[in-house]
Structure 1
Amino acid sequence: MTESADVKQYDVLIIGAGPSGTSCALALHQAGLKVAIIDKSEFPRDKVCGELLHKKAVETLNAILPGFEKDFINFSKTLVLKHTTVHYKGKSLTFDWVSESYTCPRLEFDNYLLNTVRKYTSTDIFTATVPDKITVTDDGVTLTIKNSPVIYSAKIIIGADGAHSTVAKQLTEKTLDRAHYLGAVRAYYKNVKNTDNVTSEVFFSSKYNLNYLWVFPIEGNLSNVGFGLLSSNISENKINLKESFYDYFKQSPELAEKFADAEQVSTLEGFGVPLGSTIGTVSGKRFMLIGDAASLSNPLSGTGMGNAVMSGKIAADQLIRSFKANDFSAEFMKGYDNVLQSSIVDGLYSSYKAQRTLSKLPFLLDIVFFIGKNKRIRKYIQSIV
């Protein structure tokens, strides 16, 4: 570090301004710590995903910031979903949820959260700022920025920078494991038949190993439509995911009819989802990983925003403990791992086993559809999903 370098000093550096990073910053709003969020993009920015947000994410944010849930529900871009209809072999089952889920375009949702951080915290926010080299020493962490003389210094760094996390790449030995990574594509459609603003839909196909195509309503008469497969499956079978997406409509007459008059209004874009069927290193000396950087998406559903928000809160709790004890060692950081395990990871492994069982024994889905006609059984299925 040269004497002429512009050094910005903080207690906590959060790399990434998505749901996990902003949730972590919000959870620190009364901790008395000097916090900075750094993100490579200018906001608002889009993030390609399914855009389904589970109730637990909003509940966690409401626990951090009382009143958040009410404000978010009243946000003009938010839809509150109360039903899910599942389609398979021309049959369908509709589940009615006690706890709602939500959709909100990531372009809007991530910016909403970042503005909430601006409103309720003293966090310094640096967008269009690309992290470069991270150095961890006994005394702290330093971060250089690409094409900038500025150096950021802190006691600890949080990797909230997604599936291709710079923090994870530099501070862990994480590598992409295709058996635990979902390749997916998504496009927006308008004028999809028989849709409403309170019902999500999923279509299963035996041709694609029971991976489903989703149709989620988005504000403005739009639907978020997407499909994903394990990267190992894509690689081994040389599958063109974009071609498979359009082929999916041919496999289901019901789906083809539903989209007969629909108009695709965005390009079909790809994205990757690191699944929680394997976690690996999520913390160490002076760092923690949260959200997609920690591989916390559900192996059965592919959803990850709820766990991202929860991991941000869990990391904030660990940060408060670490600063109180003045201990940022790898051993002390295991407290984060332990809470993450019991709160999120154990459930992800159960979902992984369910996903593997279903892929190996596809007739089980036929059984679910048969017994699901019974209201009591359907209610039980709703309680465990």
Structure 2
Amino acid sequence: MTQAAEHRADVVVVGAGPAGSSAAWHLASAGLDVAVLEKAEFPREKVCGDGLTPRGVKALTDMGVDTSGPGWVRRRGLRVHGGGRIAEVDWPRLDSWPGHGLVRTRKEMDALLAEHAVGAGARLVTGTTVTEPLLDDDGRVTGVQAQAGGDREPVTWRAPLVVSAEGLSGRLAKSLGLLRRTDRPLGVAVRRYVTSRRTHDDYLDIAFDLTAEGPSRDSMPGYGWIFGMGDGTANVGYGLLDTRRGTGADRRAVLRRWLDLFPDEEGLREEDAVSPLRGAGLPMALSRGPAYTRGLLLAGDTAGTVNPCNGEGISYALESGRMAAEAAIAALAAPSADAREAALERYPVRLREEVGRHHRLGMGFLALLARPGVVRLATARGLRRPKLVDGALRLMGNLTDGRDGDAVDRALAVLLRLTPAV
């Protein structure tokens, strides 16, 4: 039997998506030796809408990512479809958040973020599949076992702390008994690229009416999107935000029926496709936890950080990666084992405090989407009222100045304060 090669680091991060690269960048920027283990080779495909809200833009800016150069395409707001009406809504003008969104393919963005972490001092190790955690006699995680390269050579990485940013699979978390909560929604994103004249559109199209095939034609809780990528293509797809309804629907038929509502010249038909239809899970509402246990921190999709209000995952992946890194930094600097554990155990508490209430509201929003008549009535009336649309956009995107903002922000702050965390 081949003996496993052995390596060491202060922190091992598993997965080089936005959550893993964010954690690695913050850890390396603090002077820690961090190794990022990624099973794929870059560039690689990732199913996503490729859109960043102002919340995501701020997370990138806070990491020192230059989003003004080639490849980053600005978008000024949303074009919302619903109830037979359409409204163009600019992103809110707030002190706490940028006034624009961005689009960029995950194929490019994930590679760029991994390189950004390397630039801060992280070690990126691709083609390495983590198989299981290393545990000491007390059951504490002290590293990971992995297989490297095409020959799947065994390799061991030892570290006092491990950050799991593996995505929905959460192999390490499952090994410690942290299973996804079935009482929390699990959505699905389905997307493809098409050649479309909407490629340079300043607004991102969002539609709140998806209807399943079949005799009942049930409306499914989700939304469709058309995001112009600025390169001659558009990302078209939908997020089905609760797969407990409409699970038998033909995904291709759902997308086709919605896109057939647009004129042929928009370039949104099957014949305009330049990529296959792909799908991926959307774990929401902090659906796996606790986000820290026995030397293992969970970030991004592994912890279920996708926003139930709008299916937004990149922003929360970046933020949870930062929070996990900050907990690890504090723990490794702690003077005693008890102080270290106290620093680590604050991470899941902080995660719930910062996003848990908003995600609880999002679960209520999913219940609303499950009532098609209510959705159509609300959107038909609401889209005629710009202030109401602006307030709804702030709420769904978790974009406010809090109690220091205007009347809308203060009202939303009260609403969040009265909402229990998930």
Distance 1:361 1:204, change over 3 A: closer
CA positional deviation for 1:234: 3.9
| 1:212 partner SS | strand
1:356 to 2:367 alignment:
yes
1:152 to 2:157 alignment:
yes
Q: Is the 8 A contact 1:31 1:320 kept in 2?
A: yes
Counterpart among 354, 369, 379 of residue 380 in structure 2: 369
Q: Is the 8 A contact 1:318 1:335 kept in 2?
A: yes
CA positional deviation for 1:59: 1.6
1:241 to 2:251 alignment:
yes
| 2:204 partner SS | strand
Distance 1:179 1:311, change over 3 A: closer
Q: What is the CA–CA distance in structure 1 between the aligned matches of 2:232 and 2:265, rounded to whole Å?
A: 18
List per-residue Cα deviations over 1:194-222 (Å, max 9, x = no partner). 56342100122263335211111113121
CA positional deviation for 1:321: 1.3
Structure 1 match to 2:101: 101
Q: What is the CA–CA distance in structure 2 between the aligned matches of 1:338 and 1:307, rounded to whole Å?
A: 15
Q: Is the 8 A contact 1:129 1:145 kept in 2?
A: yes
CA positional deviation for 1:315: 0.6
List per-residue Cα deviations over 1:310-369 (Å, max 9, x = no partner). 001101110111112254876653200111111122211112212212423642542343
Counterpart among 329, 339, 361 of residue 320 in structure 1: 329
Q: Is the 8 A contact 1:6 1:151 kept in 2?
A: yes
CA positional deviation for 1:294: 0.6
Structure 1 match to 2:5: 6
Distance 1:338 1:350, change over 3 A: same
1:267 to 2:276 alignment:
yes
Matches for 1:154-173 after TM superposition, within 5 Å: 154-173=159-178
Q: What is the CA–CA distance in structure 1 between the aligned matches of 2:163 and 2:364, rounded to whole Å?
A: 30
Structure 1 match to 2:236: 225
Q: State which drifts further: 90-99 or 107-116.
A: 90-99
Q: What is the CA–CA distance in structure 2 between the aligned matches of 1:31 and 1:379, rounded to whole Å?
A: 38
Distance 1:156 1:92, change over 3 A: same
Structure 1 match to 2:208: 204
| 1:95 partner SS | strand
Distance 1:55 1:371, change over 3 A: closer
CA positional deviation for 1:155: 0.2
Distance 1:277 1:323, change over 3 A: closer
Share of identical aligned residues, percent?
A: 24
Structure 2 match to 1:55: 54
Unpaired segments of 5 or more residues in structure 2? 94-98, 212-218, 397-422
Aligned residue pairs total 373
Structure 2 match to 1:72: 67
Q: What is the CA–CA distance in structure 2 between the aligned matches of 1:275 and 1:17, rounded to whole Å?
A: 20
Q: What is the CA–CA distance in structure 2 between the aligned matches of 1:215 and 1:274, rounded to whole Å?
A: 22
Q: State which drifts further: 50-59 or 39-48.
A: 50-59
| 2:153 partner SS | coil
Q: What is the CA–CA distance in structure 1 between the aligned matches of 2:210 and 2:373, rounded to whole Å?
A: 8
Q: What is the CA–CA distance in structure 2 between the aligned matches of 1:140 and 1:205, rounded to whole Å?
A: 45
Specify the code of the residue in structure 1 equivalent to 2:208.
F
CA positional deviation for 1:260: 6.3
Specify the code of the residue in structure 2 equivalent to 1:142.
G
Q: What is the CA–CA distance in structure 2 between the aligned matches of 1:339 and 1:345, rounded to whole Å?
A: 9
Q: What is the CA–CA distance in structure 2 between the aligned matches of 1:298 and 1:278, rounded to whole Å?
A: 11
CA positional deviation for 1:303: 1.3
| 1:343 partner SS | helix
Structure 1 match to 2:313: 304
Aligned-residue CA RMSD in angstroms? 2.6
TM-score, with normalisation over the residues of structure 1? 0.88
Q: Is the 8 A contact 2:207 2:225 kept in 1?
A: yes
CA positional deviation for 1:306: 0.2
Structure 1 match to 2:40: 41
List per-residue Cα deviations over 1:75-131 (Å, max 9, x = no partner). x22111112111124311111113211110011000111111122x22111001111
Distance 1:374 1:143, change over 3 A: closer
Distance 1:232 1:356, change over 3 A: same
Counterpart among 191, 195, 212 of residue 190 in structure 1: 195
